[in-house]
Amino acid sequence: MGKTVSILTKNLKNINVDTIDDYLSAGGYEGLKKTLSLTPLEVIEIVKDSGLRGRGGAAFPTGKKWEQAARVKEDSYILCNADEGEPGTFKDRYFLEYDPYRVIEGMTIAAYAVGGREGYIYIREEYGKQKEIVLKAIDVAKAAGFLGDNILGTELCFNIKVISGAGAFICGETTALIQSIEGGGGRPKIKFKRTAESGLFGKPTLANNIESYCVVPTLFTKDAQEYLSHGTEKSKGTKVISLCGNVEYPGVYEVPFGITLREIIYEAGGGIKDGRDFKFAQIGGASGPLIPKSMLDIPYTYEDFSKEKYSIGSGAVLVADDTNSVADFMVTVQEFFVHESCGKCTPCREGNRQLLKLAHKIADKKATVEDFITVKRIANVMDKCSFCGLGTAAPTVMVTAIQHFYDMYN
Amino acid sequence: MSKNLLDVNEYEEIDNILKKHDMSKHNLVGILLDVQAISPEHYIKKEQAEYISNKLNIFLSNVYDVITFYSALSDKPKGKYVIQVCNSTCCRVMKYEKIKDAIEKELKIGIGEITSDGIFSFEYSSCFGACDISPAVRIGENVYGNLDETKIINIINDYRGGIWEKQ
């Protein structure tokens, strides 16, 4: 398996989650115990020093977010975004299903650090079975004294509720997710204040992705040293990726930052299925860039990707072999965004419709040079004027596909 | 407001669901999911939507805003088993079209249609996170992956045989 590691993912498929015993014997709740011996500010300092950045896709520094939430005097809602919807991403499902106590522990540490009594896990509707597992884990943790009043005999009181989504990709966006918990359609809202000050029900809220919460307990255990020994200066630690598509061994892998895409695909993934040739990879979900063969040696880090104006997004690595057409893939992606755009703002709603038409034209080999220019123009408007990240990122595939594969259409 | 189109039991069931959700309009998404779950045809009737809007003291348009916004909620009846085939990126690369064609041929219906016996309906779904076992379909809460034409036909036949009756 080459360079893959097993720190955050050490429990996945290795412990029985019906009881908490396996989790505890695997070192579970050592992190929370350690944090309770520190002050909340010390906890936040350690999270900051770890260089952890939001693992859902936006990559905002987690420690900074916690610091903002801690500055607010009132209690914060501790929100866990489990609306994993980026196509090609399934690592959060693994955490919910195979290591739910780690999610709970991470949220509890957050509650202690920023001051919170109530947590919400927003789980996408598609993960109904995982939701049941999490609900059971919450009951078990509560019965064992790890949730509820006076956790581990301290003054910390924390409870978690589980909320189900209803099948809307946009609800992964924090303000849309909050609207959904408040009982409305999940449309993004303009933020006059930071979520840390005014989020769920207008109250201070700390929102993080599952994986971000799952990293936190590790930072306070003996595994921390190993975790922090990986990665680069600007991308510390490891990333849990969802490797899928035409590879021999699709699955969830934990990789140190700095590994190359080639190593991910050919070592962890066992190479292209049935000995075929690599055509392209899409990184970070439907809104992620297409990577051609010539870029396979790009190191998987925040900084190397941002140099190319890409992002590693949710950690999806979708591999396509030479039986796939780039243009058909564009159509699939644009169909997805037309379906998932909430329709609130014009650049996203109309832009995606127009891009889909153009994608069809390209796929049908009827596109003219002007059409390619139009794609760039629309993409530019969407990037600059869309209301939320869905619209700004939606044209990425078409733009990068044209950038790398334009010759094919000439 | 149409009063008598639901029978007494149905009102009772909705009341119980509302109670479970603390009669709170903030839980509208969860309430609608639960109400839909009691429908064998997986949809929310107009009368149910009206009853919920009255009980929660919110506009009917608010209820329909939510029903029509989310893919998992429906205001139109579906088959007893809803077969959803993922047509997002990973399943595209893994050639979901073969599975889709096999289902269409077997059930003799297209996307968005219901079989004449009302047993199956067939639709597309955005990625439901089963990319590690792509191509995948979802039938209710059950996800089936690593599919080929034969496997999906066998699964459909299992449902026809009623072995999932209890699920």
Encode pLDDT of B60-97 as tens digits.
Answer: 999 999 999 999 999 999 999 999 999 999 999 999 99
Residue A1 pLDDT > 70:
no
* Residues B110 and B146 occupy one common structural domain: yes
Domains of chain A (ranges; CATH) run 21-228 (3.40.50.11540), 230-321 (3.10.20.600), 326-404 (1.20.1440.230)
The reported pLDDT for the residue numbered B3 is: 47
Q: How far apart are the first and last CA of chain A?
A: 40
Contact status of A389 with chain B (Cβ, < 8 Å)? no
Structural domain contains residue B136: yes
Query: What is the ipTM score, two decimals?
Result: 0.94
Hey, are the CB atoms on B89 and A336 less than 8 Å from each other? yes
Which domain-ending residue is among B18, B40, B69?
B69
Tell me: do B53 and B100 sit in the same domain: no
Residues B54 and B91 in one domain: no
| Residue A410: per-residue pLDDT | 57
Q: CB contact, 8 Å: A272 with chain B?
A: no
pLDDT surpassing 60 at residue B1: no
Q: Which residues of A touch B71 (CB under 8 A)?
A: 166-168
B166 in a structural domain:
no
Please state the three-class secondary structure of chain A as a single string.
CCCCECCCCCCCCCCCCCCCHHHHHCCCCHHHHHHHCCCHHHHHHHHHHCCCECCCCCCCEHHHHHHHHHHCCCCCEEEEEECCCCCCCCHHHHHHHHCHHHHHHHHHHHHHHHCCCEEEEEECHHHHHHHHHHHHHHHHHHHCCCCECCHHHCCCCEEEEEEECCCCHHHHCHHHHHHHHCCCCCCCCCCCCCCCCCCHHHCCEEEEEHHHHHHHHHHCCCHHHHHHHCECCCCECEEEEEEEECECCCEEEEEECCCEHHHHHHHHCCCEHHHCCEEEEEECCCCCCEEEHHHCCCECCHHHHHHCCCCCCCCEEEEEECCCCHHHHHHHHHHHHHHHCCCCCHHHHHHHHHHHHHHHHHHCCCCCHHHHHHHHHHHHHHHHHCCCHHHHHCCHHHHHHHHHHHHHHC
pLDDT at B81: 96
Do residue B55 and residue B85 come from a single domain? no
Write the pLDDT tens digit of every residue in A68-91: 999 999 999 999 999 999 999 999
* pLDDT at residue B161 in the model: 85
What pLDDT does residue B7 have? 85
Say whether B92 and A164 touch across the interface (CB within 8 A). no
Across chain B, what does the average pLDDT equal? 93
Q: Are residues B61 and B93 in the same domain?
A: no
| Type of residue numbered A42 | E
Asked if residue B88 belongs to a domain, the reply is yes
pLDDT recorded at residue A300? 97
Question: Both B97 and B151 in a single domain?
Answer: yes
Q: Are residues B30 and B93 in the same domain?
A: no
pLDDT at position A28 over 50: yes
A247 in contact with chain B, both atoms CB, cutoff 8 A: no
Res A71: pLDDT: 96
pLDDT at B2: 45
Q: Is A246 on the interface with B (CB under 8 A)?
A: yes
CB atoms A244 and B128 under 8 Å = no
pLDDT of A376: 97
> Could you report the per-residue pLDDT of A336-382, keeping only the tens digit for each?
999 999 999 999 999 999 999 999 999 999 999 999 999 999 999 99
Q: Do B55 and B106 share a domain, yes or no?
A: no
Q: What pLDDT, on the 0 to 100 scale, is given for residue B166?
A: 46
Residue B42 included in any domain = yes
Is residue B131 domain-resident? yes
Whole domain around residue B58: which residue ranges?
8-69
What CATH number corresponds to the domain at position B110? 3.40.30.10
Domain presence at residue B109: yes
Q: How sure is the predictor about B163, in pLDDT bands with cuts at 50, 70 and 90?
A: low
A339 contacts in B (CB within 8 Å)?
126
Nearest by CB: B70 against A85, A166, A182 = A166
Is 90 exceeded by the pLDDT of residue A224? yes
Q: Would you state the pLDDT for residue B164? A: 55
Q: Are residues B60 and B94 in the same domain?
A: no
A:B CB pairs within 8 Å: 135
Residue B19 included in any domain? yes
pLDDT given for residue B8 in this prediction: 86
Query: Is B1 within a domain?
Result: no
Partner A, chain B 97-136, Cβ-Cβ below 8 Å: 125-134
Residues B61 and B85 in one domain: no
Higher pLDDT, A57 or A237: A237
Beta carbons of B141 and A128 less than 8 Å apart:
yes
pLDDT tens-digit map of A325-348: 999 999 999 999 999 999 999 999
> For position B167, what pLDDT does the model report?
46
Which residues in chain B are contacts of A180 at CB distance < 8 A?
29
pLDDT tens figures, A112-135: 999 999 999 999 999 999 999 999
pLDDT at A409: 66
| Predicted confidence band of residue A407 (pLDDT cuts 50, 70, 90) | confident
B45 shares its domain with B15:
yes
Band the pLDDT of A304: cuts 50, 70, 90. Answer: very high
Instruction: Tell whether B88 lies on the interface with A, counting CB pairs under 8 A.
Output: yes
pLDDT at A37: 97
For chain B, how many structural domains are there in total?
2
Candidates B69, B74, B78, B85: best to mutate against A (most CBs of A within 10 A) is B69
Residues in A closer than 8 angstroms to B111, CB to CB, are: none
